[in-house]
Amino acid sequence: MSKLVLTNDVVEAAVVGGSLLGGGGGGSMELGRKMASLALNLTPVELVDVEDLDEGSILINVAAVGAPSAKTAHAEPMHYIKAVKLLQSVADIKISGIISNEMGGIATVNGWLQAGILGLPVVDAPCNGRAHPTGLMGAIGLHKMDDYKSIQAAVGGAKQKGTLIETVTMGNMEKAASLIRSAAVQAGGLVAVARNPVTSEYARENAALGAVKQAIELGRRILSAKDRGAVAMAEEACQFLQGEIVHIGEIKEIFLECKGGFDVGKVEMGDYLEVTFWNEYMTLEKSGDRLATFPDLVMTIDAETGYPVTSADITKGQKVMLIRVDKKHLKLGAGMRAPELFNACEEAVGKSIIKYVF
């Protein structure tokens, strides 16, 4: 058992380490800083392990769903709280803790504000210890349970622009996730989501236990090297995660489009390197040879600052460091062990993925 009181001194480490573990997705560090600081300026929040909870405790998952690059995306802090309250009222449950959907600049700290306002702990059992593109990948295997009825609440958009959406959907996991993704599109590109109540026992068997503390420690390692420069920061990350720097150089071309509520495209770099992405980086190839495949971690790091840069924020001509980490060194949830969920990744980026993973 290990409890940690989350205070402002861990925010920067959480968003930096979380952003790197986002693997191209997981939201912006800037928004993550704002959300986490807002939460912790109101009240300290406790991060607990699943083992700290009573048997039968009910946990809910919170997420931000949408295309990170969407220019009209709008989700306010109160939207994240409203989503939890909508879920609680419809599901008629007593929530004992909140778990994040994944890792990322905002994803790692998503839940801190909701927990602080509602007087709940954050449980260190995210659905995944890296970021992933689809709701089913963040459902910790619930899609395989025929008798499980998904309940998902989403809030997002700007009232003054006529895009505000508040919706609750229940039913088949895949259909519910698709409807939430559609709501994100209607809201301008992003919605705050609360979903899928599970028992602490189920989370213990299927979630990425300890991933939040891993992200915080990773961030601390990266920031500890700040005085030694960007390369040293990347090297600290690689040493901690047992990864490597594959390339340092300028981004030659970026091909990006928003499609179905996702960012999809590819990045071309020197040495004949190509990285595809579907929110998150999916494949890394050199001259057509596969070097890494999702859920392996591929991430871009700004070569000037040493900070992670998501697929939505990289720019042509930017000098970056490209790193890779084998999936065996990550904390992964049950959604990363379901081959059927990777078909959508192949369709999105037009690359073989399943044969490299399973």
Domain boundaries, the chain: 4-211, 228-357
Q: What's the average model confidence in pLDDT over 134-143?
A: 96
User: Is there a contact between 283 and 265 (Cβ–Cβ < 8 Å)?
Assistant: no
User: If residue 321 lies in a helix (H) or strand (E), which one and from where to where?
Assistant: strand 319-325
Q: What's the average model confidence in pLDDT over 258-270?
A: 92
Band (240; pLDDT cuts 50, 70, 90): very high
Strand order in the sheet with 58-66: 4-6, 45-48, 122-123, 97-100, 58-66, 190-199, 150-156, 165-171
What does the pLDDT read at residue 71?
84
What does the pLDDT read at residue 156?
97
**Burial (Cβ within 10 Å: 0-12, 13-18, ≥19) of residue 36:** buried
Measured distance CA(207)–CA(26) in Å, rounded: 17
pLDDT tens-place string over residues 305-345: 999 999 999 999 999 999 999 999 999 999 999 999 999 99
What does the pLDDT read at residue 45?
95
User: Is there a contact between 204 and 50 (Cβ–Cβ < 8 Å)?
Assistant: yes
Strands 308-309 and 289-293: unpaired
Q: What's the average model confidence in pLDDT over 339-353?
A: 98
What does the pLDDT read at residue 206?
98
Strand order in the sheet with 297-302: 289-293, 280-286, 273-278, 262-269, 244-259, 319-325, 297-302, 308-309
Measured distance CA(297)–CA(313) in Å, rounded: 17
Q: What's the average model confidence in pLDDT over 117-145?
A: 97
Nearest to 32 by CA among 83, 80, 84, 91: 80
Measured distance CA(215)–CA(112) in Å, rounded: 15
> Is pLDDT of 68 > 80?
no
pLDDT tens-place string over residues 181-195: 999 999 999 999 999
Per cent of the chain over pLDDT 70 is 100
What does the pLDDT read at residue 290?
98
Measured distance CA(191)–CA(183) in Å, rounded: 7
Q: What's the average model confidence in pLDDT over 227-251?
A: 98
> Is pLDDT of 1 > 70?
no
What does the pLDDT read at residue 69?
80
CATH class held by domain 228-357: mainly beta
Cβ count within 10 A of residue 310 = 27
CATH topology of domain 4-211: CV3147-like fold (3.40.1610)
Question: Which 3 state secondary structure label does DSSP give 331?
Answer: coil
**Burial (Cβ within 10 Å: 0-12, 13-18, ≥19) of residue 122:** buried
What does the pLDDT read at residue 35?
95
